[in-house]
Amino acid sequence: MAALPVYRWRLAPDGYATRRQLRARGLRPGGQDVAAQLERPRRRRGPLVAYLYRIDRAKPVRPMTPARWAALAKANAARRTCPECRRDAGYVIPPSLGMCTPCAFPDNTPEGS
């Protein structure tokens, strides 16, 4: 980390971008090390520092594939399923209860079932 080139704010060289700028282009650093840093001097405090990554080494953000969507939906369904009655509660089971509300409060069922 000793020999990082430091650039003045707004004078960043072409081909470099901050993590946020990469994200705006649908890219991510992709495991590369910080390539340079930007410093913006501030009064009375240390400079504001931003880290730059090389755009040519950035990788595209992994797109959501149908399989990943399915895995996500399954995980969400599992979080909504009451472990007591195995029903889909329609909401995420609160960790404090660990079960759906009718199971946690059986005497408190509003419709008197």
- Point out which residues bind Zn ion (CB under 5 A): 82, 84-85, 99-100, 103
Residue 73 beta carbon to Zn ion: minimum distance, rounded to whole angstroms: 20
Cβ proximity to Zn ion, 69 vs 105, nearer residue: 105
The CB-of-1 to Zn ion minimum distance in angstroms stands at 53
Min dist CB 77 to Zn ion, Å, is 14
- Give the residue with the Cβ less far from Zn ion, 39 or 84: 84
Distant-in-sequence, close-in-space partners of 99: CB < 8 Å, separation ≥ 6: 82, 83, 84, 85, 93
Nearer to Zn ion, 34 or 103 (CB): 103
Largest CA distance in the chain: 72
What is the signed CA dihedral for 103, 104, 108, 112, rounded to 10 degrees?
A: 0
How big is the CA angle at 40 (ends 37 and 43), to the nearest 5 degrees? 145
